[in-house]
Structure 1
Amino acid sequence: MSDPVGWERHGEGVDRLVRSYVTIPRGAPVRLRTTTSNLFRPRVHADARLDASGLTGVVAVDAEARTADVQGVCTYEDLVDATLAHGLMPLVVPQLRTITLGGAVAGLGIEATSFRNGLPHESVREMDVLTGAGEVVTTRPGDELFDTFPNTYGSLGYATRLRIDLEPAPRYVGLRHLRFDDPALLAKTVAEIAATGSYEGEQVDGLDGVAFEPGRLVLTLARWQDTGGPTSDYTGQQVYYRSVAERDTDLLTGLDYLWRWDTDWFWCSRAFGAQHPLLRRVWARRWRRSDVYLRLLALDHRFDIADRLDRRANRPQRERVIQDVEIPVDRLPEFLAWFDETVGMRPVWLCPVRATRTWPTYPLDPEVLYVNVGFWGTVHVGPDAVDAPRNRAIEQEVHRLGGHKSLYSEAFYDRATFDALYDGDHLARVKQRFDPDDRLTSLYDKVVRRA
């Protein structure tokens, strides 16, 4: 849906959401009713859910001011379609089409423009939030609710509308893939590009990379451009992440660049056979999407398909290791060496990010350049898998290196450590103010206790 929904229909959607909140019994868990989710942690089933079905679109786009008013559960796919009609795009577009704007702000989103534009919540001018008190509150930067909201995952409420900044969208994106065998040199190059916005005299608009294996790392520099030529198509037989290792340069349309990782869910589609040349020919393009793979993954979890196959083949039990962590750029080589030795999962995604200011519940230091390291898969660890030894070790190492861990997946921190890392005391005070009856599940209970 790319046509704006308008303010009247938006008001109707908000009213529907509020009415559904009133009907949820006190003491019952509050959850949004959505058709997609990009969370990777088990959650308590909730029979009564918030009806957000009227909050899935773009309210309005102001091309002159370069802003958009967007409903909370609008996907980035629909948001981009609406803004591209005006030659504009959000400052940060997370990699997967069905991530919602409200989800990226209440959680954390990141992409290749994050080294210059930060995280999605940093380009929000104001937002309306349904709080635990059942009120819709308009909040802006500097307000206690606004500043605490990012990384709270619904524990402070749900965004119903967000006004975000936009920037000119490119018609084409030229890519340059730089190869490294030394992670320290890659880290140094990342820091230099982030500081100057350029490499060898050429402007860099997007920056990310892939660590394929020890001694085989690639940094991808993206440059927005109006002039084009023959472009690559990674929605067909070709797979984008393989091209990163094989090509020196590339050219994509602006839209294809935004969704370059979605078609194969980075590299995770290979687990479903979608990258096998024969199967790929009969795998319809419309099904080569991250949300399709997520549904297949849900079926696997429901019926224990992978675990059954492992038991039949006498393979050790698997531990799911699905995490995104922010590591200070100068500690990146140390983390990758530790990760290779302790976890041994490759490839991993590398995405530089610098926060534009301090946010209480995810306190990245704005004076420090971080690199997001993303890794998604399973590791055969044997009977200890149920205790999540690799995930717990990752948490400890990230903490030791002065990094931070995103909370969209499983977390295992004890309460004291969690509160120290995510400013739990401050969050509790803000929650008490806007959710005085404690109707919304706390952040710790959501992400660690899985309530």
Structure 2
Amino acid sequence: MPPESASYEMRKRELLAAARTGRLQGDAPLALAKRTSNLFRDPGTGPRHRIDLGGFDHVIDIDTAAGTLQAEGMVSYEQLVAATLPHRVMPAVVPQLRTITVGGAVAGVGIEATSFRQGLVHHTVLEIDVLLPDGSIVTCTPHNAHSDLFFGFPNSYGTLGYALRLVLRTLPVKPCVRVEHVAFQRAEDFFAALAEACTGDADFLDGVVFGPHSLVLNVARFEDGAPSLSNYGYERIYYRSLLDTPVDHLSVHDYLWRWDTDWFWCSRNFGAQNPLVRRLFGRSNLNSRTYTRLMRLNARWGLTKRLARWRGVHTESVIQDVDIPLSAAPAFLEFLQRETGILPVWICPVHAPVETARFTLYPLDAGTLYINFGFWDVVESRLPHEAGHFNRLVEREVLRLGGIKSLYSDSFFTREEFDGAYGMAAYEALKRRYDAGRRAPHLYDKCVLRR
């Protein structure tokens, strides 16, 4: 048994002892006490009984022979990558931002450029220890007595419990990644090339839409060496390189965190792409952790809202990741540009592995290649609209095209729309079995009503 496994068992026993003494119980709905969060929706103003699981932040084991790792739920992907790369492996899917935790990526939905073959983060999970709302702990696998919770846990956002320990698949790596940036002028050609690349030998695939006639497909492969290595951790900005660097080489570490330095391109909202401001920020502050902190301060103080009122415009944050079947991808992109005008847009293909295709709360068809559209900006209008107007347009179009969206940001679904899209009939059965006392909030209440 690895030494960290014994430490994990000790922490688990202490948690169970706390549950027996009632220290995990309270009158208010359960919530997780976290120092950071990658949710982009109002958590609500009601009282919460917060559980601190911050001590469950250890990498337990890396088994290169089996191609697996064990980690506790509060381990960040920054920690996990740092632990795995010396063993010449990486988690099979590494979400784009360093502060995302392993448990959070499974309770939510995690994606990246290996997803065209590996699926979403939860498709790479083999086992989960879940702390249930009543304070008990169950181990879930695809084939044991708690397989219903194994397949129901992803996209549950803490409403069925919290991940204490997870076993995930890994992938072997080489020292470098070679990235080819292929430019297209037509969306139809871009999506056709992306679909073809999904059947080839690439290790990573994603893309960016810069404009109606400017789309770039990024095809990346592991390599043993490179003539030189680019670095986008300080002065250089990664997404701009897609337009002027046909072939690029990065270390595996820098490739995995290529988007984090500028939060894709959202650092421009803080002036951090200005060379002078960039130097004032400093290398250590150019990361998603800093931008998230600034975003939450702005939300608290309402600075941009006040500025918008002074300018005489109405604003709405449209921060979404949606998965659309490939056949409908060009139509969705045209809709998105017509209705919101948001650019750039991140593109990432995802294909659910056949053996784990249909997770209860985030159903994807195994035979379908989906295209993830990531778009994160503020839409301005001279005319007032009801709250959530542009987000509602997106949600309706996603459902119309047979897609599904992540729930990490604001949602405005009706109860009927939500029930049909996210498997609420099966969810209610899970709530009855694993949260009979209704200690945790309902998924719709948490993600849409923000209760």
Task: Using structure 2 for the length normalisation, give the TM-score.
Answer: 0.95
How many residue pairs end up in the alignment?
A: 441
What aligned pairs does 1:233-244 form with structure 2 within 5 A after superposition?
233-244=231-242
Instruction: Deviation per CA, 1:44-92: give whole Å up to 9, x if none.
Output: 3545311112111211112222211100011000011111121110000
SS in 2 for 1:138: strand
**1:151 aligned to which of 152, 155, 159:** 155
Equivalent residue, structure 2, for 1:222:
220
Q: Which amino acid aligns with 1:283?
A: F
State the distance in 1 between where 2:207 and 2:223 align. Answer: 20
1:300 to 284, 298, 301: 298
Distance 2:64 2:330 in 1: 42
Equivalent AA in structure 2 for residue 350 of structure 1: I
Partner of 1:348: 345
Alpha-carbon distance in structure 2 between the residues aligned to 1:11 and 1:272: 44
1:96 aligns with 97
The range that moved more, 431-440 or 17-26, is 17-26
Question: 1:263 aligns to what?
Answer: 261
Q: Which range is displaced more, 381-390 or 343-352? A: 381-390
Residues 1:325 and 2:326 aligned together: no
Shift of 1:186: 1.1
Question: Which residue in the other structure is 1:252 paired with?
Answer: 250
- Please tell me whether the aligned partners of residues 20 and 51 of structure 1 are also in contact (alpha carbons under 8 angstroms): no
| Consecutive aligned runs of 4 or more in structure 1 exceeding 6 Å deviation | none
Tell me how far 1:19 sits from its aligned partner: 5.6
Is the 8 Å Cα contact of residues 125 and 168 (structure 2) preserved in structure 1?
A: yes
Once the 2 structures are TM-superposed, how far is the Cα of residue 20 of structure 1 from its aligned partner?
Answer: 5.9
Cα distance in 2 between the residues matched to 1:262 and 1:20: 37
Aligned to 1:185: 189
Matched with 1:200 is none
Deviates more, 1:25-34 or 1:134-143: 25-34
Q: In structure 2, the residue corresponding to 1:82 is in which secondary structure?
A: helix
> What letter corresponds to residue 49 of structure 2 in structure 1?
A
Q: Secondary structure at the match of 1:230?
A: coil
Deviation at 1:17, TM superposition (A): 4.4
Residue identity in the other structure for 2:140: T
Structure 1 residue runs without a partner (length 5+):
198-202
Matches within 5 A, 1:259-298: 259-298=257-296
Spell out the pairing of 1:30-45 with structure 2 (5 A cutoff). 30-45=30-45
Assess if the C-alpha contact under 8 Å between 1:76 and 1:101 holds in 2: yes
**Cα deviations by residue, 1:321-372 (Å, 9 ceiling, x for unpaired):** 0000001111111111111111111000000000111112111111000010
Instruction: Extract unaligned runs of 5+ from structure 2.
Output: none
Which whole-Å CA distance do the structure 2 matches of 1:48 and 1:430 have between them? Answer: 22
Stretch moving more, 41-50 or 394-403? 41-50
Whether contact under 8 Å (2:76, 2:99) holds in the other structure is: yes
The structural deviation recorded for 1:132 is 2.0
- In the TM superposition, 1:430-445 aligns within 5 A as 430-445=430-445
Q: Report the Cα offset of residue 386 of structure 1.
A: 5.1
C-alpha separation in 1, matches of 2:60 and 2:378: 40
What is the distance in 2 between the residues matched to 1:47 and 1:14? 23
TM-score, structure 1 as length reference: 0.95
Q: RMSD in angstroms over aligned alpha carbons? A: 1.5
The structural deviation recorded for 1:317 is 1.9
Match of residue 391 from structure 1: 391
Partner Cα distance (2:67, 2:122) in 1: 16
